[in-house]
Amino acid sequence: MTKIWFITGSSRGLGRSLTKAVLKSGDKVAATARNISQLDDLVQQYGDQILPIKLDVTNYEQVYQTVADTIKHFGRIDVLVNNAGFGIIGAAEAYTDEQVRSQLETNLYAPIEITRAVLPYMRKQGSGRILQISSVGGRVGNPGLTMYQAAKFGLGGFTEALAKEVAPLGIYVTSVEPGGFRTDWAGASMSYAPEIEGYDTVKQRTDFFKSGNFVPVGDPDKAAQVMVDLAVHPAPPVHLVLGSEAIGILKNANQTRDAEMETWLPVSLSTDHDEAADFLNSPQGQWYTKNNKK
């Protein structure tokens, strides 16, 4: 059966690769972007398979109207992809207030609100797929990306909790976590906070990205095809890391975290109440611990 996709940030980068892959597969797309003229070539090629819609994802009135317009046009939304986003590099204290807000509003609040706008329709359908385009930076922190990664860590937590919440409703939710891909994310789309003295760790990252020496290993077209396949997979993962670079980064981070937890384990365990076992061994405690597992 032909699926109806709703994709944000469809005009460039990974979003454009995904939009093209979805159209090529025969599915239909509500392709949203700030500048929909960049989708004109796809409209000419695919006709009524694609519905281009101008959308500022931080304008919630537009968000709900766009979702309603998509339902009116196509009748349903089967796959939501929250892809729109961008990064700003800088020291945490150096960001302007506007830059802080823009990182959280675009990369965290917007995908949450778009998801909330689509969920009632998926709930009534009894089915749906939601792909949150996060980042390996939503699992591992790096200097210079505090605000971007605060948003992505938040999105990952929202996604993981939501996946458990809506699974009984027939809705699958996946956090897609790419490493570096050959898009303009680290190039033309990257912004920078004002520079301040003393932060060599941030300066190193800023200089590296500005140097043009960063050559991402990820292929956005291959990632797009993975997501098209994911939309029909009978048991999609809650977290899907994309790219060998991201896998290496995450494995190293997990080893460091596990070692740190083991080192501090006696301190962690020392804080239990003397009567903790009474609750943990009770039916209520067993339910609580069972339902807080990943």
CATH of domain 4-264: 3.40.50.720
Residue 60 falls in the annotated catalytic set = no
**175 counts as catalytic:** no
Task: Please say if the pLDDT value at position 96 is more than 90.
Answer: yes
| Arithmetic mean of pLDDT, 131-155 | 93
Q: Among residues 10, 17, 134, 175, which one is catalytic?
A: 134
Catalytic residue among 135, 152, 175, 199: 152
Q: Are 87 and 190 in contact (CB under 8 A)?
A: yes
Please tell me whether the overall predicted TM-score, pTM, comes out greater than 0.85 for this model. yes
Q: Residue ranges per domain, the chain?
A: 4-264
Q: How far is CA 139 from CA 73, 132, 155, 230, in A?
A: 37, 14, 10, 21
Instruction: Quote the CA–CA distance of 163 and 147 in Å, as a whole number.
Output: 24
Q: How confident is the model at residue 92 (pLDDT cuts 50, 70, 90)?
A: very high
> Per-residue pLDDT for 264 more than 80?
yes
Q: Is 134 a catalytic residue?
A: yes
Count Cβ atoms below 10 Å from residue 130 Cβ, excluding itself. Answer: 26
CA-CA-CA-CA torsion for 242, 46, 36, 13, nearest 10 degrees? Answer: 20
Residue 61 clears pLDDT 90, i.e. is over it: yes
How confident is the model at residue 118, as a pLDDT? 99
Of 46, 121, 148, 199, the catalytic one is: 148
